Amino acid sequence: MNEQLHKDLITLDQILEKVKVQGLDYLAKLSERPTSASSAILLNETLDEMGLGSMDTLKAFNEKFEKLIVSSSGPRYLGFVIGGTTPASIVGDWLATIYDQNPQAIKGEGDISAHIEMETIKLLLDLFDLPKDFTGGFVTGATMSNFTCLATARQWIGKQHGKDFARDGVSEQIYILSASPHSSVIKSLSMLGIGSNNYIRVKVNSDNRESIDIEDLKLKIKALKGQPFILISSAGTVNTVDFDDFKTISKLKRNHDFWWHIDGTFGAFAACSPKYKHLTSGWETADSITIDCHKWLNVPYESAIFLVKEQYRSIQTETFQNSNAPYLGDPSEDFNYLNFLPENSRRLKALPVWFSLMAYGKKGYRYITENVVAMANHFGHFIETSNAFELMAPIRLNNVCYTLEGEENQDKVFPFLKNINETGKVFMTPTVYNGKKGIRASFVNWRTSKQDVDMVAKVMIKLISNRVV
Ligand SMILES: *Cc1c(COP(=O)(O)O)cnc(C)c1O
């Protein structure tokens, strides 16, 4: 055996012990670690001939990169929509690495791991109180989940025209209706050959909303004169976490021929709490749903699920058929994940989720959901009662969209945000909403406490009163 591999193999316990101690140290000090880093690094372009072995490689990593790693998994990283890692999810993630399975469900490699994936999907359906007639699987993120669902929807459109787009290519116009699609939905349209420009924008509701205006939706449906189409709706838009009226959409579905996709990347978590569950009411009749696990479920990257109604299994396997390889088995015989989603070989992404769900149960996730919403409201209260800031939209769930008070301060919004982020105490991201510049604070991390929010408020007040802006 190569000497470095051999040395590592016989000292693996010391190496992993060191990594454990370092990992615990990172997690223990997560709250003090800066939320941003500015130092540039020089990229190494030559590979050592002998290699360093794991112990010295860890040293090299620590010297070059470790100090610059930001606390994006910590309690005051409020940019984008970023989760953290529950203790049990770290356990599952470590084990996923150690067991190194490839969930497929063909007889042989990764056989049982595909069952772990299927069981995890069932547990998630139970968490979200969704019916058992959804099947699903794990992909890297909500972008790939939206892609997977919309690829299946595209095949469904073909079927309505008597065509097989997966085999013969897209030969019909695909009509898409959406009001506030996430950027990753638009990206998926581009990747699917539908074209990112080729969707019909439905109006949003008046009164500062991002949700579908149902009357306009009806008009747009009427204009399609019975052509099949795909409706892309939102359970939680990124700016104001708005939800479409799923009850009414599910009624429309009875009389019109369309594929209904819901991007519930993070808004799906409303269903975990009796307080917010009403927001998702009616979503169970959708054809496909996207949900991220690496955001509000607080498991490590890369983890998201797609859910598609079981009745479309054959359409989905037509779309992702990997059948021209006899060594992978007969696709018509058994269910196999590699005929069901974009990737072939995959990591056992379900395991961190399975561990976290088993460890904390419905009660744990009800707590995480409600705590996060309470923190968003606590921060929102600070914004509302301060005379330097104002909310741009009501707080519907876990995001706070705000700006500097006064039209004359619009040019100062992004410089102010830059100043906030440079403190390293908190990280937020910019937005433009209703034509106005603003700042988004998105709450999803399971650790965020009132003390964290109060510290953020203090940082902001200090910047304002020092006239740093
Ligand atoms: C984050 C997000 C996505 C994309 O998710 P990734 O996990 O980054 O691929 C899609 N839709 C919504 C609503 C999101 O918030």
pLDDT tens-place string over residues 425-445: 999 999 999 999 999 999 999
Indicate whether residue 242 lines ligand 1 (CB < 6 A).
Answer: no
Ligand 1 close to Cβ of residue 397 (< 6 A) = no
**Which of 356, 391, 408 is the last residue before a domain boundary?**
356
Same domain, 312 and 458: no
Same domain? For 293 and 316 the reply is yes
Same domain, 210 and 280: yes
Q: How many whole angstroms from 184 Cα to the centroid of ligand 1?
A: 7
Compute the distance from residue 143 Cα to the ligand 1 centre, in Å.
6
CA distances from 85 to 299, 302, 366 (A): 5, 12, 16
SS3 category, 169: coil
Distance from the CA of 82 to the center of ligand 1, in angstroms? 10
Residue 63 lies in a domain: no
The DSSP output letter for 11 is T
Same domain, 260 and 394: no
Task: Using the mean position of ligand 1's atoms as its centre, give its distance from the Cα of residue 365 in Å.
Answer: 20
Predicted local confidence at residue 38, as pLDDT: 83
H or E segment and range at residue 138: strand 134-139
Domain boundary among 307, 327, 356: 356
Query: For residue 198, how far is the Cα from the chain centroid?
Result: 24
Mutate to test the pocket of ligand 1, among 180, 265, 306 (most ligand atoms within 8 A of CB): 265
Look at residue 469 and tell me whether its pLDDT is greater than 60: no
382 lines ligand 1 (CB under 6 A): no
Is 174 touching ligand 1 by the criterion CB < 6 Å?
no
Share of the chain above pLDDT 90, in %: 93
Q: Is 143 in the pocket of ligand 1 (CB under 6 A)?
A: yes
Ligand 1 atom at minimum distance from 237 CA:
13
Residue 464, H or E segment: helix 450-465
Calculate how far, in angstroms, residue 399's C-alpha sits from the geometric centre of ligand 1. 14
Within-domain flag for 94? yes
Distance (Å, rounded) from C-alpha 10 to C-alpha 13? 8
Q: Is 76 in the pocket of ligand 1 (CB under 6 A)?
A: no
Task: Report whether residue 182 contacts ligand 1, using a CB cutoff of 6 Å.
Answer: yes
Q: Do 252 and 170 fall into the same domain?
A: yes
Summarised one tens digit per residue, pLDDT across range 342-390 is: 999 999 999 999 999 999 999 999 999 999 999 999 999 999 999 999 9
Percent of the chain topping pLDDT 70: 96
Instruction: Decide: 261 in ligand 1 pocket, CB within 6 A.
Output: no
- Pick from 394, 397, 379: which is nearest to 278 by CA? 397
What's the gap in Å between 465 CA and the centre of ligand 1?
A: 36
Nearest to 215 by CA among 230, 231, 203, 223: 203
pLDDT, tens digit, for every residue of 286-298?
999 999 999 999 9
pTM for this predicted structure: 0.97
268 CB near ligand 1 (under 6 Å): no
Mean pLDDT of 253-271: 97
Q: Output the CA 304–ligand 1 centroid distance in Å.
A: 9
Does residue 79 line the site of ligand 1, with CB under 6 A?
no
With the most atoms of ligand 1 within 8 angstroms of its CB, the residue from 82, 149, 185, 238 to mutate is 238
- For ligand 1, whether the C-beta of 287 sits within 6 Å is no
Whether residue 337 sits in one domain with residue 206: yes
Nearest C-alpha neighbor of 27 from the set 374, 292, 423, 300: 300
In a domain? residue 390: yes
Residue 59: pLDDT over 70 = yes
Task: State yes or no: pLDDT of 88 exceeds 80.
Answer: yes
Average pLDDT over residues 185-202: 98
> Ligand 1 atom 3: the closest Cα is on which residue?
142
Is the pLDDT confidence value at 452 over 60? yes
Please give the radius of gyration of the chain, using alpha carbons only, rounded to the nearest integer. Answer: 24
Q: How confident is the model at residue 330 (pLDDT cuts 50, 70, 90)?
A: low
Domain assignment present for 408: yes
Q: Identify the CA nearest to 457 among candidates 401, 389, 398.
A: 389
Q: Are both 249 and 202 inside the same structural domain? A: yes
Query: Residue 386 sits in a domain of what CATH number?
Result: 3.90.1150.10
Answer whether residue 14 is part of any domain.
no
What is the number of the ligand 1 atom nearest to the C-alpha of 234? 13
Per the structure, the count of domains in the chain is 2
Q: Is the pLDDT of residue 415 over 60?
A: yes
> What is the span of the domain harbouring residue 394?
368-465
Q: Which of 356, 386, 412 is the last residue of a domain?
A: 356
Domain with residue 115: its CATH number is 3.40.640.10
Give the residue, out of 292, 301, 353, 396, with the most ligand 1 atoms within 8 A of its beta carbon, to mutate for a pocket test: 292
